[in-house]
Structure 1
Amino acid sequence: MSERNRRTVRDLRRGNRARVVQRLYFDGPLSRQELGPATGLSSGSISNVVAELVAEGLLEEAGVVDSDGGRPRTLLRVAPGGGLLIGIDIGETRVRVELFDLSLTELARTERLLAQHGYDVARVVSHVRTGIADVLRDAGADPGRLLGIGIGVPGIIERGGPEGAVVHGQTIGWRAVPFEKLLRAVIEVPPEVPLFIDNGALSLGQAEMWFGGGRGARDAAIALIGSGVGASVMHGSTFDDNRLGSALEWGHTTVQMRGRRCRCGSIGCLEAYAGAEAMRERWHEAGGPLPDDADDETALAALLEAAFPGPGGPEPDPVAVSLLDDTAECLGAAVADLINLFLPERILLGGWAGLLIGPRLLPAIRRHAARYALSHAAERATIDLGELGPDAVTVGAATLPLAAFLARGGSRLPASGTGGPAEPAGPAAARRRPRTPAVAGEASG
């Protein structure tokens, strides 16, 4: 048999595995009989693929269901213990590292704080190294079972060079940082464990499309509002769409001519008005009662409390109200740009700051977006909050290696990194904590 034919057979086998694993991951549990029409594969192919994946520990039984007049049917699902994933959020105030099983159930987490305005590359690399070691130790996990490590970072990612992924993060002072090379030199995991480094807003977008507010949408724009501002435009929510999306430097689009100086060096950027760091600075400049060393989270919570004191409290602070009104209009105008440019069905506001201000400002943001956008495009778009909380970037980062694993049909990369059959997977880690969304903390951006 020629080398070409051998490649074709191998690719066909991998494609069949990928169809089964992906369908079970997103729509399972399913029976063998249901997998046929769901994947388009013959019953013989289903039997062969399922037997192979069960033997490798990637699929497991998930109960039985009655059939019409026949034998009960056994349900199958992707085994949560079939492998481990790490998701890392390089945020602007902290580095968060989480360890997940294949179902994205959290097994362990850790956080490392970054000093205010302290985005030293060596410090971040050190935090990633120790964070990975800590979550593996805390979960009693074998590094050899890692399917990959996903990392969401602020900035533009350049690939294809000899140093791997290079990060251009102008707002954080990173210029052509060979981040992948630096990490590979220090992290203590097997060399065949792949690293996936991408923009944090894109990671957030994938998480929301797969598991959150973007489910079922063909096109969505997901905003990441933290200390800074970013966004992604996503196309399709599952592998069936064969499309993903792209990260946008949305925070550095202009919302005010001759406006405030942005930390990127330009003027009038959205981030200079709607990022948490900018809101803290603007309130302080306007005389808001904040100590000079107040961090972004503390300042934003105090700003909201001043503008919306609640029943029985003092009168709303007019300066705080005016500042947030201006922020809502800037965000509404920038959302209108997303609507006009990309015609999304849904727009989701996420990130720790977006989730904090969203419940108060969302009606005004919708109103301003409708005023600035083309009417037909605005009428078909919904604007809501993201559903996955501040963990969304770490969850999204974990979906980067997960997506590659599912695309390979559950095959693990061998030490040579050239692809091949899967190694048997071990049992699930015993210590498990369900992932529970919340609305506090830091995400990239």
Structure 2
Amino acid sequence: MASPERRTVRDLRRGNRAVLLRNLYFAGPASRQELSRLTGLSAASVSNVTGDLLAENIIVEAGMVDSDGGRPRTLLRVNREYGYAIGVDVGETHVHVELFDLDMNMHAKAEFTLRAAQHDADLVVRHVLAGIDAVLASAEATPAQVLGVGIGVPGIVESGPDALVHAQTFGWDGVPLGAKVRAGTSLPLYVDNGAKTMGQAELWFGSGRGFRHAIVVLIGSGVGASIITGGLTYRGANSSAGEWGHTKIAVGGRTCRCGARGCLEAYIGAQSILERAGLSAEIEREQAALGELVRSGAPVVLETIEYLGAGLANLINLFNPERIVIGGWAGLLLARHELVRIKAAVAENSLTQPYQTVSIVPGRLGADAVALGAATLVVDEFLLGAIPAAGDGSPANVTRLSG
């Protein structure tokens, strides 16, 4: 039997630092006394850790608040100007690159168009690297001020330094996207499935906030989901959990873009809806064409709602979530115009008890939530203490913003 790993004072201090910083980010501004109550740390530990974080300018004072009968208490918050996070959304028709501060305010954005037949990995990488340069130039920032780059992509992302991506609709089979991007930048890099990054964004800042068991679905040209259980994203054995669009809704049904038959995506994905309506709009015009179709109340839209209701009901029956968030540009379009019908279709296909305890709502963060979620990958590492404490040998490419 292996002996338990010994924890040093340094390990304990780092753990305390991560717990305090995370609580301050999500519950701040807060006083030291409130932080002690929120974290369960002693007043002395809170004082020591906040002293270090103040000295490093990771947190700053945010005014005073009256206390009961004593001296006013100083409020603390995470310093939004400590560093930037870059979020990248690699979609069917675009590469979006956005620069955020630690309050997730967007400071700059760059966009590049992709054509349906131009998902060449090297082209995507060139767009990502050009976008990083563009947003830094627009914000007059330097790479030294960036904590990292998060990238949301379609398909399955294998963890590891190469970040192998399996995206059948792109024709990618084990593309080492992480290695390719790292060849062009020294910034810390985090790659994940786009539906999962959007799910984390909605969990942190949007319609999923406050829920520990939720599912965030992304419906655009493609279809995916982020399954959140116990407040954490469920990934499965190989990080492929959440490929909801490729669950089967009809045996021997329509051919999906992945090559299989009867996938949910082949019935509720934007491209498939237009095809079933007899429209052959170019992928660049998908959003406008689908918007016209949904507003017209065409029969194919009503049929799509039935398939969507069955697909969401499967998630309810399998995972018993407290909340389902409908996101992605096509999902938001359908929810905006047809949420009542969607809920009715879900109720018709769900078990009664789990349906009665779930709420179904549109996403709150809009169609660009994937890029925001990709940036949260960087912030998540920052809050967990991936940026070493002072004196631990901070990497040269991670510094504080001026001012």
TM-score interval w.r.t. the shorter chain? over 0.9
8 Å contact 2:317–2:354 — kept in the other structure? yes
Percent identical pairs in the alignment equals 49
Write out per-residue CA displacement over residues 371-417 of structure 1, whole angstroms, 9 at most, x where no aligned residue: 1111111111111111111121111111111111101175379998x
8 Å contact 1:180–1:197 — kept in the other structure? yes
Secondary structure of 2:401's counterpart equals: coil
8 Å contact 2:143–2:397 — kept in the other structure? no
How far apart, CA to CA, are the structure 1 residues paired with 2:53 and 2:386?
Answer: 9
Secondary structure of 2:81's counterpart equals: helix
Match in the other structure for 1:127:
127
1:266 pairs with 2:260: yes
* One-letter amino acid of the structure 1 residue matched with residue 228 of structure 2: M
Superposed CA RMSD: 2.3
Match in the other structure for 1:442:
none
- Runs (4 or more) in structure 1 with deviation over 6 Å come to 412-416, 419-423
296, 301, 304: which one aligns with 2:294 = 304
| Change in CA separation of 1:413 and 1:337 when aligned onto 2, cut-off 3 Å | farther
The offset of 1:304, in angstroms, is 2.0
351, 357, 374: which one aligns with 1:380 = 357
How far apart, CA to CA, are the structure 1 residues paired with 2:376 and 2:282?
Answer: 39
How far apart, CA to CA, are the structure 1 residues paired with 2:391 and 2:122?
Answer: 30
1:255 pairs with 2:249: yes
Match in the other structure for 2:143:
143
379, 393, 405: which one aligns with 2:382 = 405
| Change in CA separation of 1:413 and 1:381 when aligned onto 2, cut-off 3 Å | farther
1:172 pairs with 2:170: yes
The offset of 1:368, in angstroms, is 1.3
The offset of 1:203, in angstroms, is 0.5
The offset of 1:295, in angstroms, is 2.3
Secondary structure of 2:326's counterpart equals: strand
Write out per-residue CA displacement over residues 212-233 of structure 1, whole angstroms, 9 at most, x where no aligned residue: 1111112001100011111110
1:224 pairs with 2:218: yes
The offset of 1:177, in angstroms, is 0.3
Structure 1 portions without partners, runs of 5+: 238-242, 308-320, 429-445
1:326 pairs with 2:296: no
Counting matched residue pairs gives 394
1:92 pairs with 2:82: no
How far apart, CA to CA, are the structure 2 residues paired with 1:80 and 1:119?
Answer: 35
The offset of 1:267, in angstroms, is 1.1
How far apart, CA to CA, are the structure 2 residues paired with 1:414 and 1:151?
Answer: 30
* One-letter amino acid of the structure 1 residue matched with residue 274 of structure 2: R
Match in the other structure for 1:358:
335
How far apart, CA to CA, are the structure 1 residues paired with 2:69 and 2:396?
Answer: 38
Secondary structure of 1:232's counterpart equals: strand
The offset of 1:57, in angstroms, is 0.7
The offset of 1:59, in angstroms, is 0.6
The offset of 1:130, in angstroms, is 0.1
TM-score (norm 2): 0.92
8 Å contact 1:410–1:422 — kept in the other structure? no
Write out per-residue CA displacement over residues 180-214 of structure 1, whole angstroms, 9 at most, x where no aligned residue: 11111123xxx3x3211000011011111111111
How far apart, CA to CA, are the structure 2 residues paired with 1:142 and 1:186?
Answer: 15
Match in the other structure for 1:185:
183
* One-letter amino acid of the structure 2 residue matched with residue 224 of structure 1: L
Write out per-residue CA displacement over residues 44-75 of structure 1, whole angstroms, 9 at most, x where no aligned residue: 11111111101101010111111122111110
Higher relative contact order (CA 8 A, sep 6+): 1
Match in the other structure for 2:59:
59
Structure 2 portions without partners, runs of 5+: 236-240
My pick for the range that moved more, 8-17 or 357-366, is 357-366
How far apart, CA to CA, are the structure 1 residues paired with 2:108 and 2:242?
Answer: 31
| Change in CA separation of 1:197 and 1:424 when aligned onto 2, cut-off 3 Å | closer
The offset of 1:359, in angstroms, is 1.6
